[in-house]
């Protein structure tokens, strides 16, 4: 005579079989990350992004993308050598004898004239009094972008920072003028390990167009490179 299995017993047997089958599957355990992978992740997260932005009066200024790093001895886009509006940027032929400078400039090429057009710049300058021709080495420039607060350089005399931005009308505004109450702080820099170092910070400044007009630049932030 055929034996009858109660429904509740049959259900328990089926569940037991399913559990035993699932138990044979490979467990999905979290994978560990090797030291090399951690380094790669950190490097990817730390990949530099360059910009200069702020509010020039009521106009938002934003210069994204990679700038060109320069210094006073090997600058391919030298303030004396090809950028437009040199007079507005207050450089003269004696500047190199007075100070070292290093920083970045955001530029494009005018398709009609092939001239380099500067849309903004950030550089740090240090007054040099030379008794003899001392060599310029990478550490000279690296020390110029130390984490600190800086004053602004006025014309071609002294040590400090110099900032330029071009507005939507094509007018170049510079920090060449009174900067009472202005601020500039370098908040980070990368290690001295190559021909350039990344540095970033915040600033507020009065910006001048060279024709008697002034605008306040607020909420200024930047991430740039310094040529060493």
Is the confidence at residue 31, as pLDDT, over 90? Answer: no
Confidence of residue 17 (pLDDT cuts 50, 70, 90): very low
Which helix (DSSP H) or strand (DSSP E) does residue 59 occupy?
Answer: strand 59-64
Q: For the whole model, what pTM was predicted?
A: 0.70
Confidence of residue 81 (pLDDT cuts 50, 70, 90): very low
114: left (phi over 0), alpha (psi -120 to 50) or beta: left
Cα dihedral value 102, 69, 79, 141, nearest 10: 10
The total of other beta-carbon atoms located within 10 Å of residue 86's CB is 15
Sign of CA dihedral 97, 98, 100, 101: negative
The full DSSP string for 161-223 is EEEEEE-TTS-EEES-S--TT-EEEEEEE--S-SSEEEEEEEEEEEEE-SSS-EEEEEEEEEE
Task: List the chain domain ranges.
Answer: 49-227
Task: Return the minimum-mean-pLDDT range out of 50-64, 134-148, 212-226.
Answer: 134-148
Measured distance CA(155)–CA(24) in Å, rounded: 78
111 versus 48: the higher-pLDDT residue is 111
163-194 tens-digit pLDDT:
999 999 999 999 999 999 999 999 999 999 88
CB 147 within 8 A of CB 199: no
The full DSSP string for 66-98 is PPEEEETTT-TT-TTTTBS-TTTTT--TTHHHH
84 versus 118: the higher-pLDDT residue is 118
In order of 28, 44, 108, 134, 211, the CA distances from 65 in angstroms are 42, 17, 11, 35, 30
């Amino acid at each position: 005579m055929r034996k009858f299995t109660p429904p509740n017993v049959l259900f328990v047997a089926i569940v037991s079989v399913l559990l035993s089958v699932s138990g044979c599957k490979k467990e999905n355990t979290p994978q560990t990350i090797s030291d090399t992978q951690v380094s790669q992740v950190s490097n990817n997260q730390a990949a530099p992004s360059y910009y200069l932005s702020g509010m020039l009066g009521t106009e938002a200024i934003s210069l994204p993308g990679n700038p060109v790093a320069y210094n006073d001895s090997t600058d391919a886009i030298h303030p004396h050598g090809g950028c437009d509006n040199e007079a507005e940027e207050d450089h003269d032929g004696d500047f190199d004898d007075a100070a070292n400078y290093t920083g970045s400039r955001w530029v494009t090429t005018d398709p009609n004239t092939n001239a380099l057009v500067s849309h903004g710049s950030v550089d740090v300058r240090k007054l040099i009094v030379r008794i003899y021709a001392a060599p310029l080495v990478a550490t000279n420039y690296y020390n110029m972008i130390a984490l600190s607060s800086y004053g602004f350089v006025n014309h071609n005399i002294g040590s400090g920072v110099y900032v330029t931005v071009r507005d939507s009308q094509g007018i170049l505004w510079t920090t060449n003028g009174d900067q009472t109450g202005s601020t500039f702080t370098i908040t980070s820099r990368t290690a001295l390990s190559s021909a350039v170092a990344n540095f970033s910070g915040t600033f507020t400044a009065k910006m001048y167009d060279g024709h008697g007009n002034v605008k306040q630049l607020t909420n200024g932030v930047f991430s740039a490179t310094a040529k060493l």
